[in-house]
A and B are shown apart, each in its own frame.
Chain A
Amino acid sequence: MDDSAARRGVIRNCLGVGVAVGAYGAAFGAASVAAGLSVLQTSLLSLLAFTGGTQFAVVGVLAGGGTMLAALSSGLLLGSRNALYAMRLAPLLRVRGARRLLAALGTIDESTAMAVGQRTDELSRTAFWWTFGAVFSFWNLATLAGAAGASTLGDPKNIGLDAVIPAAFLALLAPRLRAGRIERRVGAAGATIAFVLVPLTPPGIPVLAASAALLLATSLRRRTA
Chain B
Amino acid sequence: MSLWGLVIATIVGCYLLKLAGYLVPARVLEHKQMRQAVEMLPVALLAALVVVEAVANGRHWAFDGPRLAGFAVAAVAVWRRLPFLVIVVVAAATAALLRQV
A binding-site residues for B, Cβ under 8 Å: 20-21, 23-24, 26-27, 36-38, 41, 44-45, 48-51, 53-58, 60, 62, 64-65, 68-69, 71-72, 74-91, 95, 100-101, 103-105, 107, 157-174, 176-177, 182-183, 186-191, 193-195, 198-199, 201-203, 206-207, 209-214, 217-218, 221
Contact = CB atoms under 8 A, between A and B. Distances in A.
A67 to B, nearest CB: 8
B44 A76 contact: no
A184 to B, nearest CB: 9
A45 B1 CA distance: 17
A187 B47 contact: yes
B78 A194 contact: no
A190 B48 contact: yes
A45 to B, nearest CB: 6
Interface string B51-66: 1111111111100101
Identify whether the interface residues of A are mostly helix, strand, loop, or mixed: helix
A82 B96 contact: no
Contacts, number: 308
29 contacts: A44-B7, A45-B10, A53-B46, A62-B6, A64-B57, A68-B5, A75-B10, A75-B13, A79-B13, A83-B20, A84-B21, A86-B21, A88-B29, A157-B99, A160-B91, A160-B94, A162-B67, A162-B70, A163-B74, A164-B70, A167-B78, A167-B91, A168-B87, A170-B75, A193-B48, A206-B56, A210-B44, A211-B44, A221-B36
B101 interface: no
A204 B60 CA distance: 12
A60 B18 CA distance: 22
A172 B46 contact: yes
Interface string B66-101: 111111001101110001110110011111110100
A191 B48 contact: yes
A211 B41 contact: yes
B14 A56 contact: no
B3 A163 contact: no
B14 A68 contact: no
B22 A165 contact: no
Contacts of B43: 173, 176-177, 183, 186-187, 190, 213
